Amino acid sequence: MKILGIETSCDETAASVVEDGTKLLSNIIASQIDIHAQYGGVVPEIAARSHIEVMLPVVEKALTEAKTNWDNIDAIAVTQGPGLVGSLLIGVLTASTLAHLKNKPLIPINHVEAHVYANFLNEPAPLFPLLALIVSGGHTQLALFQDHENYELLGQTQDDAAGEAFDKVAKVIGLGYPGGPSVARAAEQGSDTAFVYTKPKTANPLDFSFSGLKTGVLRETQKLVGGDYTMLSSQIPALLSDNQRADIAASFQKTVVTILCDHLLAAYKQYRPRSVVIAGGVAANQELRRVLKLRLPVEITYAPISLCTDNAAMIASCAFYQRDRGVDLRKSPIQPMPVLSM
């Protein structure tokens, strides 16, 4: 069964063809990073407009690269949410219209759930019960999957997501967007013991909280550049040396990695799953992978970096396992499904 996946929840316009949930036939991603980098973050209106411009060529390219055509596509899957409303709308409208025109069932997919399915594009597939740490720019969750579509949320962030904390700290110390890769790069040159940031406590020990850590980094950095706590964060980068930037990046990254590892290890000990996967943009972090390998008594499954960050292959893979939820639009008037925002 070949599924065309479409993903536009944030700033990547993506389409992919996946066979039987596991075989990646094409994976096209048009990134808007260069456009948003000049603003230091994603500008929702610009993201939506950029999706419109490249959506159809990206779909065409996904079919061509998969050496297939519409006759051989069995269903269309699309990210229904969560995400930026304007961005989601472009993908959902495109997918709904194509499903009508090409007579295909339409499968709505939850973006956060789909991140886990990047790990099903690897052979062998991870076994159930499966413990997943989903760490992206919008979400930080620990989930225990007994089977496809049957999962329990063990913990989640009470405020910022892990990726969001990377992005915000990067901005404070004057590193580029997206923050995750630029903080990780700077951290390679720094000392991870230069600063000690407080780890948050949550009522549920498997929940997360990153906003205090982000503020902690801001305060420590203000102290470092003169102790003026009313200083605007936009004034800080010019006062930092490259060494200080690297030390802050390394110490911050170490704190986040420790928090994520502590939580994953605690959940592993409590639930003893048959496999453990990490997913989402922050799962691309090499330090996280290195420390998890040292600390967890089982092998961790993670996808190649291009499948950790947003892509449509994970949408198409997830849809294969949720194909019974496909909606037949043939008899209904063209009307997109509602989008689900953050």
Q: 20: exposed, middle or buried (C-beta count within 10 Å: 0-12, 13-18, 19+)?
A: exposed
Quick one: what does residue 282 bind among ligand KG4, Zn ion, none, with the CB cut-off 5 to 8 Å set by partner type?
Answer: ligand KG4
94 binds Zn ion (CB under 5 A): no
Whole-angstrom distance, CA of residue 120 vs CA of residue 272: 20
Residue 304: asked if its preceding bond is cis (omega within 30°), the reply is no
Six-digit token string for 121:
């594009």
DSSP letters along 82-101, please?
A: SS-HHHHHHHHHHHHHHHHH
CB 117 within 8 A of CB 318: yes
Binding positions for Zn ion, 293-332, rule CB under 5 A: 310
46-53's contacts with Cβ under 8 Å and 24+ in sequence apart are: 47/10, 47/11, 47/84, 47/86, 47/87, 48/84, 48/86, 48/87, 48/89, 48/90, 50/11, 50/13, 51/8, 51/13, 51/87, 51/90, 51/91, 52/90
List the single partner that 249 binds among Zn ion, ligand KG4, none, CB under 5 to 8 Å by kind.
none
Judged by beta carbon distances under 5 to 8 A according to partner kind, the member of ligand KG4, Zn ion, none in contact with residue 309 is: ligand KG4
312, interface contact from Zn ion, ligand KG4, none, CB < 5-8 Å by kind: none
State the minimum distance, in angstroms, from the CB of residue 3 to Zn ion: 18
The entry of ligand KG4, Zn ion, none near residue 91 (CB within 5 to 8 angstroms by kind) is none
Q: For ligand KG4, give the closer residue by CB, 126 or 180.
A: 180
CB 130 within 8 A of CB 115: no
Measured from the CB atom, the residue of 89 and 162 that comes closer to Zn ion is: 162
Q: In sequence order, what are the residues at sequence separation of 6 or more whose Cβ sits closer than 8 angstroms to the Cβ of residue 203? A: none
Select 278 or 282, whichever has its Cβ closest to ligand KG4.
Answer: 282
Q: In Å, what is the CA distance from 305 to each residue of 8, 23, 109, 181? A: 18, 17, 21, 11
Query: In the bound complex, what is the minimum distance in angstroms from residue 281's beta carbon to ligand KG4?
Result: 2
Q: Does 136 bind Zn ion (CB under 5 A)?
A: yes
Closest contact distance (angstroms) between CB of 248 and ligand KG4 is 15
Nearer to ligand KG4, 73 or 282 (CB): 282
SS3 126: coil
Binding residues for ligand KG4, rule: CB under 6 A, are 10, 136-138, 163-164, 166-167, 178-181, 184, 280-282, 284-285, 309-310
Q: Give min distance, CB of 63 to ligand KG4, in A.
A: 24
Identity of the residue, 155 or 280, whose beta carbon is nearer to ligand KG4 in the bound complex = 280
Q: Which stretch binds Zn ion (CB under 5 A): 132-140, 171-179, 264-272, 325-333?
A: 132-140
Instruction: Please state the closest distance from residue 92 (CB atom) to ligand KG4, in A.
Output: 16
- Closest CB 202 distance from Zn ion, rounded Å: 23
Give strand ranges (E) for the chain. Answer: 2-7, 12-19, 23-31, 75-81, 106-110, 130-135, 140-147, 150-156, 275-279, 300-301
Minimum CB separation of residue 204 from Zn ion in Å reads 23
Residue 178 binds which one of ligand KG4, Zn ion, none, with CB within 5 to 8 A depending on kind? ligand KG4
Q: Which residues bind Zn ion (CB under 5 A)?
A: 136, 310
